[in-house]
Structure 1
Amino acid sequence: MEENKKSGLKLNGAPWYIALGCILIILASAYLGVLGTDMASVLALCVAIAVIFNEIGERLPIWNSYIGGGLLMVFFGTAVLVQFNLIPEKYVEGINTFISGDTGFLTFFIIFLIAGSILSLERDILLKSFAGYIPAILGGLVCAMLFGVVTGFVFGIRPSDILIKYVLPIMGGGNGAGAVPLSQIYEEVTGDPAANYYAFAIIILTIANIICILAGALLNKLGTVKTEWTGDKRNLLRNNAGLAREDKKVQTGVKDMAGAMMVALTCYAVGRLFSKVILPTIFGASIHQFAYMIIFVVILAATGIIPANICAGAKRLQSFMTGACSIIIMVGMGCDFDLMELVSACTPANVIIALMVVVGAILGSAVVGYLVGFYPIDSAVTAGLCMANRGGNGDIAVLGAADRMELIAYAQLSSRLGGGIVLIVASFMFSFML
């Protein structure tokens, strides 16, 4: 604190006058049309937008404590800019391509978060965490169904319609891994066009995603009040120290980080091999590459094959990506979010039913998580909210709002393996309820 006072206000780690000068130059280049749409240009624009909104979100009263702070302000602020055409269209397209399109910076970001979060855990903590995680997911799913059905009675909606039109899309693992395959299963079983199911599913999912992000921020605030309900925000298990690699004070250098990068990217390649060639489906449900990657990284960590210096390097890579790149990712999330789609879908019935489904996911995963030895807040964020949000993008937004980005491996399990479970359940529901 004393050092900050001496050095003055800083923005994104730089003195305010340097940061402000950089932002003005970048924005001037963009609005004069001379900034390109290559990776470096897009990254520069993302940084300029992110630093402004992040600073506002961190300083704005109420918002910084209860709504989600800087990261969530970057998300919503960027969405507002896009909605009012304040970012030139070519740059919006460039950002979308860079973050979640062909360039795939979001994938790159997630790879290192997964590797670092798993390889930094003690072996016994790792095995206990993943052994208890599926029950926590199922607890959230069952309670989401129960809360949804009970709320449906209030609005005169049949339980079968609540389960099929509301619960399955919300808990299905997002858009590409959830709503899209759900609509395909719907068409195969009923013969009705997939678009008829998808049009409503994506609306409900969008509403639930926003609720999940706000709930993540509120759960984070709750954790500051009920400290016994949460841990260090890095692992789920109660009464465990967590990050063994840091505790052992393993020294790392550039070569260790390079080795960790090679291991992480190789694990991703293994995930691609299994999801595309070796075992793309299980019981008819498609398994995502990140789900297989997580399983493979867990195997490597559990067997102790990876040396301690590489594990520590993976942790440093994860810390860099979380600290330096999270706000950039949130700009991409905001560019890809349609505010008007959300506004048009916000009928009282849709909002209340989606809210209660999310509440059910929170409570179910928190209670079951506690019973299997997890901190209830961390279990609710990962096994609950990250089941009910909009997949990979939603995971980043929820974890950012909840200040638990280092739990990304669990969040991805919810979106990928949890989403796969929902697809299997959906196959039976569509067959017997329609």
Structure 2
Amino acid sequence: MKNVKFLGLPPYLAAVLIVICVTAMYMGALPTDLGGAFAIMLSIGVVFNEIGKRIPIWNTYIGGGLVLAFLGSSALVYFNVIPKTYVEAMNWATEDANFLTLFIVILITGSILGLERKLLLKSMAGYIPAILGGVAGAALLGIITGLLFGINPADVVIRYVLPVMGGGNGAGAVPLSQIYEKTTGQPAASYYSFAITILTIANIFAIIAAGLLNGIGKRATALTGDGKTLMRNSEEIAAEKDDVKLSMIDYGGAFLLSLTFYALGCLFSEVLLPTIFGVQIHTFAYMIVFVVIANALGLIPAYVRKAATVLQSFFTKNMILIIMVGVGIDTDLGELASAITFSNVVMALMIIIGAILGSAIIGYLVGFYPIDSAVTAGLCMANRGGSGDLAVLGASERMDLISYAQLSSRLGGGLVLVIGSIVFGMFL
């Protein structure tokens, strides 16, 4: 036990801190502000994370501590173990105060600026085909499975494949339901209620599949890289950064840089160019484009790029527990259980498998590692958007690939909306 640490702390000290935070919560002394919410979320996350890392098979193939933090947090809420006031506080911290967005902003900036320029441009160029490969694979296996249940191919694509591969709830299921209403004249809710059901089931499968792929990658090392790049036979970090010396103030500059890229993305997505060819462009999609351009043109000094990658590393290694607990708190196990039918489960599972195979095969053909391509271009299309991306990347231990995951959820989700508009017009 001498070298064992819980979130960097000796086990006895971590236990004392957790007991204090939990006691303060149950006695109502802990405030429901950001500090109080984070105290509980980290306490819950540390406990489940340490347990999950030590469960055989689970820790290798199911996603380990992070997946248990996600599922365990959801169970605590479902069984009313956590007082409702603090459940609301944790939801507020994740969604209303939008710590999730801050987390993604830091990860996008650091992950892109940490890539060598030529490698970055080459990998981005091959990514759209990998996404489309995942969508095609999901549709193919989905249609085959649907025939076994007596569901015609058009209904499979409309009701199952598009919601799952739409890039999440806000970016996929919601706008798809609006397109459905405009096309058919039927209430959007009639489409959305089923879409969110199948998406929720698929999201769970995507997270579990990410853990399984990670386990496979550890044994079949030729199928994956180091979790930081998609491209085979390439170095992911520019050599010039190795000797860069940083001071504490440099991290402040990197933090401001990340937030400014976010502000620039907001400016374009909300005011200057919100749509392109009628398709809504998400803030994160714009942000990724601008960070890529800045890196490719060498506009950011080497020490700032290095600081951004170190800042990203801090968030991925420490703050990810807050995100996983937040995602779990927001997942209603009761609703999920009521939506589980044999046909829904099998359909969702086969769509996930199809997304994995399609994105892995096409990804390999364009020069990607198949497992990393399957995780980002496949599974990050088939989850619940931003929070789903983080859960999938956490389970697969590939948090450095967040920029590609966001391309899936945002640009890939936009492609699915275009496909949806065409398919709805043809068959509804």
Task: Settle same-fold status: TM greater than 0.5.
Answer: yes
How does 1:44-123 map onto structure 2 within 5 Å? 44-101=39-96, 103-123=97-117
User: Could you list the per-position Cα deviations for residues 2-37 of structure 1 after superposition, in whole angstroms to 9, with x for gaps in the alignment?
Assistant: xxx6x3532111111111111001000000111110
How does 1:23-42 map onto structure 2 within 5 Å? 23-42=18-37
* Equivalent residue letter for 2:56: P
Q: Which residue of 1 aligns with 2:406?
A: 412
Task: State the distance in 2 between where 1:15 and 1:147 align.
Answer: 48
* Equivalent residue letter for 1:195: A
Contact 2:67–2:395 (Cα < 8 Å) also in 1: yes
Contact 1:120–1:245 (Cα < 8 Å) also in 2: no
* Equivalent residue letter for 1:148: G
Q: Which residue of 2 aligns with 1:168?
A: 162
Task: State the distance in 2 between where 1:23 and 1:255 align.
Answer: 31
Task: State the distance in 2 between where 1:313 and 1:404 align.
Answer: 20
Moved more, 396-405 or 248-257: 248-257
Secondary structure of 1:59's partner? coil
* Equivalent residue letter for 2:210: G
How does 1:262-273 map onto structure 2 within 5 Å? 262-273=256-267
* Equivalent residue letter for 1:255: I
Secondary structure of 1:73's partner? helix
Q: Which residue of 2 aligns with 1:200?
A: 194
Is 2:102 aligned against 1:145?
Answer: no
**CA distance change for structure 1 residues 55 and 246 in 2, over 3 Å: closer, same or farther?**
farther
User: Could you list the per-position Cα deviations for residues 123-178 of structure 1 after superposition, in whole angstroms to 9, with x for gaps in the alignment?
Assistant: 11000010000010011111111111111100000111000000000000100111
Contact 2:167–2:410 (Cα < 8 Å) also in 1: yes
Is 2:295 aligned against 1:301?
Answer: yes
* Equivalent residue letter for 2:223: W
Task: State the distance in 2 between where 1:92 and 1:403 align.
Answer: 27
Task: State the distance in 2 between where 1:314 and 1:433 align.
Answer: 48
Deviation at 1:248, TM superposition (A): 2.4
Deviation at 1:280, TM superposition (A): 1.1
Task: State the distance in 1 between where 2:240 and 2:16 align.
Answer: 37
User: Could you list the per-position Cα deviations for residues 34-72 of structure 1 after superposition, in whole angstroms to 9, with x for gaps in the alignment?
Assistant: 111011111111111111111110111221111110100
Task: State the distance in 2 between where 1:246 and 1:12 align.
Answer: 31
* Equivalent residue letter for 2:47: I
Deviation at 1:285, TM superposition (A): 2.1
**CA distance change for structure 1 residues 246 and 208 in 2, over 3 Å: closer, same or farther?**
farther
How does 1:4-403 map onto structure 2 within 5 Å? 7-101=2-96, 103-244=97-238, 248-403=242-397
Secondary structure of 1:387's partner? coil
Contact 2:241–2:303 (Cα < 8 Å) also in 1: no
Task: State the distance in 1 between where 2:416 and 2:214 align.
Answer: 27
Contact 1:245–1:312 (Cα < 8 Å) also in 2: no
**CA distance change for structure 1 residues 247 and 313 in 2, over 3 Å: closer, same or farther?**
closer
User: Could you list the per-position Cα deviations for residues 372-398 of structure 1 after superposition, in whole angstroms to 9, with x for gaps in the alignment?
Assistant: 100000000000000011110100000
Deviation at 1:214, TM superposition (A): 0.5
Residue number among 400, 406, 430 corresponding to 2:424 in the alignment: 430
Task: State the distance in 2 between where 1:285 and 1:426 align.
Answer: 12
Which ranges in structure 2 are unaligned for 5 or more consecutive residues?
A: none
Contact 1:212–1:388 (Cα < 8 Å) also in 2: yes
User: Could you list the per-position Cα deviations for residues 219-263 of structure 1 after superposition, in whole angstroms to 9, with x for gaps in the alignment?
Assistant: 001101110110010010000111126862312121221111111
Contact 2:241–2:302 (Cα < 8 Å) also in 1: no
Contact 1:284–1:424 (Cα < 8 Å) also in 2: no
**CA distance change for structure 1 residues 246 and 75 in 2, over 3 Å: closer, same or farther?**
farther
**CA distance change for structure 1 residues 422 and 362 in 2, over 3 Å: closer, same or farther?**
same
* Equivalent residue letter for 2:321: I
Task: State the distance in 2 between where 1:185 and 1:369 align.
Answer: 30
User: Could you list the per-position Cα deviations for residues 247-301 of structure 1 after superposition, in whole angstroms to 9, with x for gaps in the alignment?
Assistant: 6231212122111111111110011011111111223221110010000000000
Secondary structure of 2:397's partner? coil
User: Could you list the per-position Cα deviations for residues 109-129 of structure 1 after superposition, in whole angstroms to 9, with x for gaps in the alignment?
Assistant: 110100000001101100001
**CA distance change for structure 1 residues 98 and 245 in 2, over 3 Å: closer, same or farther?**
farther
Task: State the distance in 1 between where 2:190 and 2:250 align.
Answer: 51
Length-normalised TM-score, structure 2: 0.98
Contact 2:206–2:352 (Cα < 8 Å) also in 1: yes
Secondary structure of 1:87's partner? coil
Deviation at 1:328, TM superposition (A): 1.1
Secondary structure of 1:305's partner? coil
User: Could you list the per-position Cα deviations for residues 157-207 of structure 1 after superposition, in whole angstroms to 9, with x for gaps in the alignment?
Assistant: 011100000000000010011101110111011100000000000000001
Secondary structure of 2:126's partner? helix
Task: State the distance in 2 between where 1:46 and 1:104 align.
Answer: 15
Q: Percent identity?
A: 59
Post-superposition, which runs of at least 4 consecutive aligned residues in structure 1 deviate over 6 A? none
Task: State the distance in 2 between where 1:117 and 1:246 align.
Answer: 16
Task: State the distance in 2 between where 1:210 and 1:245 align.
Answer: 39
Task: State the distance in 2 between where 1:139 and 1:270 align.
Answer: 31
Task: State the distance in 2 between where 1:328 and 1:223 align.
Answer: 26
Deviation at 1:81, TM superposition (A): 0.1
Task: State the distance in 2 between where 1:32 and 1:248 align.
Answer: 49
Task: State the distance in 2 between where 1:235 and 1:369 align.
Answer: 12
Secondary structure of 1:388's partner? coil
Contact 2:174–2:192 (Cα < 8 Å) also in 1: yes
**CA distance change for structure 1 residues 246 and 77 in 2, over 3 Å: closer, same or farther?**
farther
